[in-house]
Structure 1
């Protein structure tokens, strides 16, 4: 079971990293979008040096991985190493296999959407399983270990500086698109993570909780908590069933309750922060 879990995790890391590769190579690099991170630095350095962005990205990631091993040691996760090297290797390979001399489309805004959305989706999947694609995340881990500075703010300002460099290296249109990409990136990642983790929290006020609980345990393979309750108006004795479910399970439970307990009062809330067995440990 442990081997199966590890294999599943690394398959997901591979899938997520390939999303980042597609977004960066086919949409970010050819348009010279520079909205932060190692890939953003690579675009700038690739413009002012003979090296390609993919080569610069590989060199920077290798240097950061070495720093990670030196300063972080055992706390430096293999997931990050694997994702970082896969990302750098794929970018360098694509430059040789499928070189791009110009953007895929003549619509910069369309390219920007994919340059933000695809890496954001891939990064969100990685963050959700406690992994990352390396790059400036390694700097964050080092700062976290050896300083008390606000890491999130430090990384944000580094992204801002990288983006501002586009105003000196590229034309104003590219720089403005890069600025828009920076503003969109963090929002996109947060929204994707929230969407992935979205679950439904049920408060079911009913007179017969046993039937509902049996369905939750035996059919949905979840658990629930049952509380005694008393109506404020009717003073009638009732029960409250509390449970948290994934979205497909929530649909099943709602339909079941309406069929077997049509008089039940159901409160359903969205939540993306559930910590415990069956959710985030």
Structure 2
């Protein structure tokens, strides 16, 4: 493996580690002490901890390890090294925190404040993992097993399991915790979608100008991006124009906009947000 590959792998796993630890902080310090049940393995762990001798951290470790074994037996290695790494890291980190910094009650007397962190931090970590083509394992492994051996609608099945967990939270912990859990289940998906969309947000430029060469040179040499240029004709004066199409990250977009305004102030610029770009230099291709 060459040095570039090693550096890329190190960066990739550093990113996965950071995302996992963000999840761990949200789960251990805010979700577990308040008995919030938003579904998934940690939701099961919170429920079962109320009538078993194990705490939520230990139960998360046990269930994640059991699901990994079941996954290897029934699915094989198709759920990937990244998922195994994240699942093991999260389970171990929760168990270590439980031994090093045990919590017997919530950190504050503000349940709404803790609810916000219990939703946002795990959702942020999950979004980062999804963006890196990984997951935290757990019920995702069950989904893979169901997909391989049954014809169930997996999305609906997992949603029903999550709803069942939140309903049980009413019975075990009362209406206050149950309502928080339902609100968390609804908010979690919205936060994940929003974070992923903002992480992948790019700027799509449509530039109508007379002389495209300086702009394209700036895009190539300064921003390390490419562009498409084609002929166009103004509908009013029938003058010949050039249209430049290009896509780039937000920080690069600021530089390009400034350059065009300085070098060709008469150019017509349209800038559009786009959160799904597939192609070389973006998602889906190297």
- Where does residue 247 of structure 1 map in the other structure? 250
What's the CA shift for 1:231? 0.6
- Where does residue 112 of structure 2 map in the other structure? 109
Which residue of 7, 28, 33 maps to 2:31? 28
- Where does residue 120 of structure 1 map in the other structure? 123
- 2-side partners of 1:147 and 1:228: how far apart? 53
How do 1:87-106 and structure 2 match up within 5 A? 87-106=90-109
Which residue of 230, 233, 236 maps to 1:227? 230
- Where does residue 220 of structure 2 map in the other structure? 217
RMSD: 0.9
1:31-82: CA deviations, max 9, x gaps?
Answer: 0000101000000000111110011101100111011111221312011111
Q: What is the TM-score when the length of structure 2 is the normalising length?
A: 0.96
- 2-side partners of 1:4 and 1:151: how far apart? 36
- Where does residue 78 of structure 2 map in the other structure? 75
- Where does residue 139 of structure 2 map in the other structure? 136
2:197 aligns to what SS in structure 1?
helix
What's the CA shift for 1:222? 0.2
- 2-side partners of 1:146 and 1:192: how far apart? 32
How do 1:1-281 and structure 2 match up within 5 A? 1-281=4-284
What's the CA shift for 1:144? 2.6
Q: What is the TM-score when the length of structure 1 is the normalising length?
A: 0.98
- 1-side partners of 2:153 and 2:275: how far apart? 25
- 2-side partners of 1:144 and 1:190: how far apart? 23
Gaps of 5+ in 1: none
- 2-side partners of 1:43 and 1:74: how far apart? 29
Distance 1:71 1:242, change over 3 A: same
